[in-house]
Every structure is written in structure tokens, then in C-alpha cells.
């Protein structure tokens, strides 16, 4: 009924024109849609273009007026493929690389420090060993020298004692009223010269001989005490070296 009513010719419109106008009104509105998709490794771009043509016919008393309007709508959608994941991945990779570089630098610094410490320890150990060896060698040499000197001195003491005893008695029997000279050595140097005055009796001779022996005994005691003092000082020095080494390695 509606279509029949629309096809009824109005009284003020001629037939030819009205048929064309009615045909334009009846035509459907054409719509064209175009979709373009572009995909890359990081993004997917989708472009949708929709074109719509609208035809509007206006009737007047003389002739109909037809207005055609074309409308195009374009929609572009960009999808970033794994954007957050890749951003996180790159950030993590950069952080890992920085951490690895920092760790490598720290390891190199630690290795350098360890090498320096090892070298210093080796140098200190070598110095300590050399010092200990030198001290031991010096102590051994000094002990050997002292022992040899003591033996030599002891031998010469008895030699001089015997010689003095013999010379005194020889002098006593030869000329008891004359003074005699007796020489005793210390460190192979002449230090003590005793001038023994004339002894007319055996008793005076024994007294002077005892005095001479006492003097020699005191001299030996003083030398032995000096050796003990030197050894004690060397021990204190060695002990202080060990204490300093213990403080160093702490």
C-alpha cells in the first residue's frame, strides 16, 4: 500500500520528470568499505576506509532537486605487537648487561686486590724467611764464633796459665827478686798486662796466682753475661716481629 501510494502521480508534476525522481528516491544508499592491514615485526597497522554516498531528492513545483553527498570515514588501528614484553625484555637485557659489566669489574678489582695481597704476602713471607734465615745464620755463626773463641780462649788461658806458672817458677828459681811481665789476651787483642813484682815465697806466688785466676773468671763471666743479654735482645726482637706479623694479618 505504501509503495502504491508513493507511485501515485501528483497533480502538479509531469509524468516524465516524476518517474526519474521516484527512481532516484527508491535507489539504495551505496556503501563501500576497504580494509588494509600491514604487519611488521613490532606493529600491526589496520586501516579501514568506509565510503558512503547519500542521495537526497527534493521536490519542488517545477522540478525535483537531487543532492548527492559522499562521505568517507577512515579508521586506522595500530596494534603494537608485544610492546610491553619487548620493552621489559630490553630493559631486563640492559640491566643484566650492566650488572654483568659491574660484576666483571668487581671481579677484576677483587682479582687485582687478591693478586696484590698475595704478592705482598709473598714478599712479606720472603722477607720474613730471609730475615729469619739471616738471623739464624747470624746466630749460628755468632754461636760458633763464640764457641770457637771460648774454646780458643780457654785453651790459651790454660796455655798462658801453664806458661806463666812455668815462667814464674823458672824466674823464681833463677831470680826471685825481679819483676816479671804476664800478658793475657781477650778477643785476640792485648788488653791486660800484669806486672808481677818479685815474690820471695811460694805463698805470695799462690796469692797472686789466685788473684789472676779470679780476674780471668770474672772476665769470662762478664763475657757470658753479655752473650746472654744479646741473645735475649734478639729473642725480644724476633718475638716483636711475630706480634707485628699477627697484627698485620688480622
pLDDT exceeds 60 at position 3: no
pLDDT exceeds 60 at position 5: no
**Cα–Cα distance measured from residue 59 to residue 2, given in angstroms and rounded to the nearest whole number:** 18
Q: Which residues of 210-239 are buried (b: 16+ CB within 10 A; e: fewer)?
A: eebeeebeebeeebeeeeeeeeeeeeeeee
Which residue's entry shows cell 525535483?
Answer: 64
C-alpha cell at 158: 790454660
**Cα–Cα distance measured from residue 211 to residue 195, given in angstroms and rounded to the nearest whole number:** 13
Provide the residue ranges of all domains of the chain, joining segments of one domain with +.
2-81, 111-249
Could you tell me the pLDDT band of residue 13, with boundaries at 50, 70 and 90? Answer: very low
Asked whether the beta carbons of 58 and 90 are under 8 A apart, the reply is no
pLDDT exceeds 60 at position 83: no
Residue-level pLDDT at 36: 65
Asked whether the beta carbons of 166 and 150 are under 8 A apart, the reply is no
Contacts of 241 (CB under 8 A, 6+ apart): 128, 131
Residue-level pLDDT at 179: 44
pLDDT exceeds 50 at position 151: yes
Residue that wins the pLDDT comparison between 249 and 117: 117
Could you tell me the pLDDT band of residue 235, with boundaries at 50, 70 and 90? Answer: confident
What is the overall mean pLDDT for the chain? 59
Could you tell me the pLDDT band of residue 233, with boundaries at 50, 70 and 90? Answer: confident
Residue-level pLDDT at 46: 72
pLDDT exceeds 70 at position 85: no
State residue 85 phi and psi, 5-degree precision: -65, -45
Nearest CA-CA partner of 241 in 136, 128, 114 = 128
Q: Give, as one character, the DSSP assignment of residue 198.
A: -
Q: Widest CA span of the chain, in angstroms?
A: 198
State residue 187 phi and psi, 5-degree precision: 55, 35
H helix intervals, the chain: 2-6, 15-26, 83-174, 202-249
pLDDT exceeds 70 at position 232: yes
Lowest mean pLDDT segment, chosen from 35-49, 135-149, 174-188, 201-215: 174-188
Amino acid at each position: 500500500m505504501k509503495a502504491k501510494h508513493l507511485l501515485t502521480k501528483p497533480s502538479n508534476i509531469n509524468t516524465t520528470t516524476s518517474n526519474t525522481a521516484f527512481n532516484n528516491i527508491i535507489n539504495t544508499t551505496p556503501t563501500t568499505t576497504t580494509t588494509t592491514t600491514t604487519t611488521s615485526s613490532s606493529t600491526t597497522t589496520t586501516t579501514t576506509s568506509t565510503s558512503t554516498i547519500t542521495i537526497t531528492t527534493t521536490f519542488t513545483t517545477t522540478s525535483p532537486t537531487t543532492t548527492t553527498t559522499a562521505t568517507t570515514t577512515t579508521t586506522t588501528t595500530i596494534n603494537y605487537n608485544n610492546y610491553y614484553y619487548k620493552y621489559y625484555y630490553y630493559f631486563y637485557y640492559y640491566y643484566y648487561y650492566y650488572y654483568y659489566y659491574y660484576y666483571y669489574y668487581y671481579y677484576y678489582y677483587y682479582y687485582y686486590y687478591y693478586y696484590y695481597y698475595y704478592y705482598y704476602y709473598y714478599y712479606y713471607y720472603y722477607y720474613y724467611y730471609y730475615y729469619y734465615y739471616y738471623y739464624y745464620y747470624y746466630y749460628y755463626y755468632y754461636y760458633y764464633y763464640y764457641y770457637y773463641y771460648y774454646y780458643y780462649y780457654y785453651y790459651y788461658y790454660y796455655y798462658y796459665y801453664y806458661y806463666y806458672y812455668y815462667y814464674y817458677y823458672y824466674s823464681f828459681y833463677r831470680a826471685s827478686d825481679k819483676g816479671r811481665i804476664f800478658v793475657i789476651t781477650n778477643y785476640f787483642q792485648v788488653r791486660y798486662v800484669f806486672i808481677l813484682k818479685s815474690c820471695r815465697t811460694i805463698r805470695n806466688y799462690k796469692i797472686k796466682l789466685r788473684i789472676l785466676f779470679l780476674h780471668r773468671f770474672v772476665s769470662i763471666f762478664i763475657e757470658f753475661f753479655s752473650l746472654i743479654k744479646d741473645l735475649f735482645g734478639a729473642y725480644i726482637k724476633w718475638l716483636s716481629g711475630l706480634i707485628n706479623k699477627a697484627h698485620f694479618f688480622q
